[in-house]
């Protein structure tokens, strides 16, 4: 629950969706690590939501344990962490896709590669709440596309990013490394 993860962008996208007739009933579930230093930022977003009259449709869940996180992920329709910094990977995307949830991410950092590798989501413009809202709306209003993306992401994560697959790849790399002639 930090500025770097784009939580303020997500909140603004949510408020934009509430202004649109087709997505007026949208709800937002916010979860993640929240350190004491993050609390003022989170409170400011809670105040922003309250000022917009949307507090009944937003739930903040800081510092969930694994079981609660899995349960929360499975309750979602769409997942997004619109990070505004150079995210090196985004394990949380694989977690969401493993739970069968399509993702919407900014067209930056590692996100385009992950979306391409999995087929489990769509991209939006980085740091732009309206672009994020447009991408979210397109999925919220298209259940068949959501199902297609969710299935593709789920399948790809379990096929290509599982612990078993990572171990197989490590063995391959080690096999290639040990087969090389050693330099004196």
Cα 1 from Cα 32, distance rounded (Å)? 5
pLDDT given for residue 184 in this prediction: 60
List the structure tokens of 70: 């899995």
First to last CA, the chain: 52
- Comparing 147-151, 153-157, 166-170, which segment has the lowest mean pLDDT? 166-170
Q: Mean pLDDT, to the nearest integer, of 39-48?
A: 98
Kindly indicate the confidence band of residue 182, based on its pLDDT and cuts at 50, 70 and 90.
Answer: low
**Share of residues in the chain with pLDDT > 90 (%):** 84
- Whole-number pLDDT of residue 176: 74
pLDDT for the residue numbered 56: 98
State pTM to two decimals: 0.90
Average pLDDT, whole number, for the chain?
94
Tell how strand 103-106 and strand 58-62 pair up: unpaired
Is the pLDDT assigned to residue 50 strictly greater than 80? yes
b/e code 75-104 from CB counts within 10 Å (16+ = b): ebebbbbbbbeebeebebbbebbbbbbbbb
Nearest C-alpha neighbor of 33 from the set 67, 74, 73, 5 = 5
Q: From CA 31, how far away is CA 145, in angstroms rounded?
A: 25
pLDDT digits (tens, 9 = 90+) for 109-152: 999 999 999 999 999 999 999 999 999 999 999 999 999 999 99
The answer to whether the beta carbons of residues 77 and 137 sit under 8 Å apart is no
CATH number for the segment(s) 7-179: 3.40.50.2000
**Cα–Cα distances in Å, from 101 out to 23, 73, 74, 92, 121?**
18, 7, 7, 11, 9
Asked if pLDDT for residue 35 goes beyond 70, the answer is yes
The predicted structure's pLDDT at residue 178: 64
């Amino acid at each position: 629950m930090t500025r770097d993860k784009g939580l303020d962008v997500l909140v603004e996208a949510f408020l934009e969706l509430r202004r649109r007739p087709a997505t007026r009933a949208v709800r937002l579930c916010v979860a993640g690590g929240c350190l004491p230093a993050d609390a003022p930022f989170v409170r400011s977003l809670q105040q922003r939501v309250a000022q917009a009259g949307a507090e009944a449709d937003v739930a903040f869940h800081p510092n969930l344990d694994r079981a609660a996180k899995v349960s929360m992920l499975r309750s979602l329709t769409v997942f997004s962490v619109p990070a505004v910094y150079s995210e090196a990977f985004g394990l949380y995307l694989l977690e969401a896709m493993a739970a069968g949830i399509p993702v919407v991410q900014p067209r930056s950092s590692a996100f385009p590669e992950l979306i391409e590798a999995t087929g489990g989501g769509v991209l939006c413009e980085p740091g732009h709440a309206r672009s994020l809202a447009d991408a979210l709306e397109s999925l919220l209003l298209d259940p068949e596309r959501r199902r297609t993306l969710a299935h593709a992401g789920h399948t790809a994560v379990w096929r290509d990013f599982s612990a078993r697959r990572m171990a197989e790849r490590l063995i391959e790399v080690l096999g290639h490394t040990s087969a090389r002639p050693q330099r004196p």
